[in-house]
Amino acid sequence: MEDVKAAAHVEHQLAVPAQSLGANTIGIDDEVLLRMSEQIPNFAGLVEKARRASDFEHKLTNREAFKLFPKAIIFSFILSLAIIMEGYDTSLLGSFYAYPTFQERFGIPVKGGGYQVTSNWQTGLQNGTNVGQIMGLLVAGLIADRWGYKKTMLGALVSLIGFLFLMFFANNIGMLFAGEVLCGIPWGAFQSLTTTYAAEVSPVILRPYLTTYVNLCWVTGQFISTGVLRGLLGRTDQWGWRIPYAVQWIWPVPIIIGVLFAPESPWWLVRNGKVEEAKKSLSQLSSPGVSNYDTEDAVALMIITNAHEKLTRQGVSYWDCLKGVDRRRTEIVCCVWMCQVFCGIWYGGNIVYFLQQISFTNTQAFDFGLGVNAIGWCGTVCSWFIMQRVGRRKLFVTGLGVMFTVLMLVGFLGIPSHTSPGLSYGSAALLLVFVFTYDLTVGPVTYCLISEIPSTRLRIKSAVLARNCYNIASICANFLNPPILNPTAWNLKGKGGFIWAPFCLICFLWSFFRLPEPKGRTPTELDILFEKKIPARKFSNFEVTPFRSNNFEVVSEGAALKEMH
């Protein structure tokens, strides 16, 4: 009973002895619980509400969640539409290298007729976008933590409208490069804000849908890009490449309208001490009267989680992401996003340009590209259903294994010096499998992991660091991939699969040993799992009971008095 006497000194809360936890059951440390109780008024009452909120989340079904949070889904979807613009331009730039009017305007004559954008400028244009995104991510992380998601998104959207003029009116490749760098800044902001906002307005069960929807928007942008270029393929004037850039002005205005009506993230409001506004935000995100959902309970869980993280971590700067228990979490999100690059998608996803180099006509290549994008879109939708059953880890690891196998097969098909039509179609079919696998596994699962693995107080900054690791990896890929396919450089064609396969194998090995399974865990539960240093492959084996330790559990005052008597 000494634990009860010690806890009884804390105003508004009492503790009673708890039965010893099982070998695979863990909770918050005694010392942390007591410090939290000393700092938070009515701690026991808040814990009781937080428990109810946690139990409610674990019992919530898909059908109930969709009925209860339709507005959260809609607002998350609206903000995520910004990623369509980034996916559109990324695909646009890669496809432009195979686009006749763009090649003629910004390329150089090559032997045998025609024009090619040089390998150096291909690398430079793509890396210009990445440099802009790195700057945008760092700035957005600071602004969003201080001013919130809505103001940061609005600023990025308005900036993008102005920056697009540079690319539309470009009269030389240097001006195009400047436009790619400047447009990369708001695109970088979108990369972190859309995923973290989706995670912070949704319950646990909806996180896979709303976060992986970001990947669906990316694929949608690529699909629209390929479709626009295919529709303009017959044009031989300057509008053949200017119109695709002008299409990007369609998106910002409707998204801006949606952002103006969207509630601010309740987690951001709690982190900034705006508890009443957080309750109001949750009310705006949910449908009243649909179930026994209580915004008071939900906010209590956020308050307790935030207080727990404040006590067990140093601060909320970028440097704090690399300290203590958060170092491991930062490593995971950074490596997961780099796996999106090093799995070989720069090679397998650049399918239109690849097919041109193995004797497909322009029309055939763009038609096939449309089909591949459609299949990738279907793959992302399929991941919603598979991920809920098998989890994130198994899907991610399996996807990398399949993609490694495909890259090796494409490499072997590229060995013959004279490529027959049969081998060309075989390579094309394998790349179709590659893209489908990517958009079923690594592509969408990454967005889910990025939102779940970091602590709530460092979620935005962890996402920024992770995406910047992705952008740095992209810069490396942009130096490596163009020479592999460009006929004025290495011109490896299918043999490029051998270049990317070892990188994919490294990603597979890392994910097998280091990637944990966060499926079905609340932020508090994940905090405890990482604090206890549970090995990645054993995450699913542990039961987490927040607010209970081997020595005592926090209970309401009445229950504690009853137990003591």
Note the pLDDT tens digit of each residue in 86-114: 888 877 877 787 778 888 888 888 777 77
Mean pLDDT of the chain: 84
Mean pLDDT of 270-283: 94
Please check whether residue 560 lies inside any domain of the structure. Answer: no
pLDDT surpasses 70 at 417? no
Percentage with pLDDT > 70 across the chain: 87
pLDDT surpasses 80 at 22? no
SS3 349: coil
DSSP 292-328: S--HHHHHHHHHHHHHHHHHHS--SSTGGGGSHHHHH
Enter the pTM of the model. 0.84
pLDDT of residue 158: 95
Of 395, 69, 88, 350, the C-alpha closest to 212 is 395
Please check whether residue 10 lies inside any domain of the structure. Answer: no
564 — pLDDT class (breaks 50, 70, 90): very low
Q: Which two tokens stand for residue 213?
A: 């929807």
Bridge-based pairing of strands 14-17 and 25-26 is unpaired
Please check whether residue 505 lies inside any domain of the structure. Answer: yes
**442-474 burial code (b ≥16 CB/10 A, e <16):** bbbbbbbbbbbbbbbbbbbbbbbbbbbbbbbbb
Within 10 A of 318 (CB to CB), how many other CB atoms are there? 17
Mean pLDDT of 58-66: 90
Is residue 362 packed enough to be buried (19+ CB in 10 Å), middle (13-18) or exposed (0-12)?
middle
Please check whether residue 150 lies inside any domain of the structure. Answer: yes
Please check whether residue 11 lies inside any domain of the structure. Answer: no
Bridge-based pairing of strands 25-26 and 543-544 is parallel
pLDDT surpasses 50 at 383? yes
Note the pLDDT tens digit of each residue in 39-54: 888 888 888 898 899 8
Q: Which residue has the higher pLDDT, 274 or 98?
A: 274
pLDDT of residue 316: 81
| Phi and psi, residue 169, nearest 5° | -100, 15
pLDDT of residue 552: 55
In one-letter notation, the amino acid at residue 92 is: L
* Strand partners for 14: 555
Within 10 A of 114 (CB to CB), how many other CB atoms are there? 12
170-184, 217-231, 381-395: least confident range: 217-231
Of 362, 343, 338, 370, the C-alpha closest to 497 is 343
Domain coverage including residue 83:
62-262+313-515
Q: Which residue has the higher pLDDT, 565 or 325?
A: 325
| Enclosing H/E stretch for 554 | strand 552-555
Mean pLDDT of 222-239: 83
Q: Which residue has the higher pLDDT, 354 or 132?
A: 132
pLDDT of residue 14: 40
Please check whether residue 180 lies inside any domain of the structure. Answer: yes
Q: Are 497 and 411 in contact (CB under 8 A)?
A: yes
pLDDT of residue 13: 45
Please check whether residue 427 lies inside any domain of the structure. Answer: yes
334 — pLDDT class (breaks 50, 70, 90): very high
HEC string of 425-491 equals HHHHHHHHHHHHHHHHCHHHHHHHHHHHCCCHHHHHHHHHHHHHHHHHHHHHHHHHHHHHHCCCCCC
Q: Are 332 and 431 in contact (CB under 8 A)?
A: no
557 — pLDDT class (breaks 50, 70, 90): very low
Mean pLDDT of 145-150: 92
Q: The domain that contains 212 carries what CATH number?
A: 1.20.1250.20
Q: Which residue has the higher pLDDT, 418 or 173?
A: 173
Note the pLDDT tens digit of each residue in 246-257: 999 988 999 999
pLDDT of residue 99: 77
Mean pLDDT of 308-315: 81
pLDDT of residue 178: 92
Q: What is the total count of domains within the chain? A: 1
Q: Which two tokens stand for residue 482?
A: 């163009």
Within 10 A of 550 (CB to CB), how many other CB atoms are there? 15
Mean pLDDT of 68-90: 90
Mean pLDDT of 372-377: 83
Please check whether residue 26 lies inside any domain of the structure. Answer: no
In one-letter notation, the amino acid at residue 46 is: L
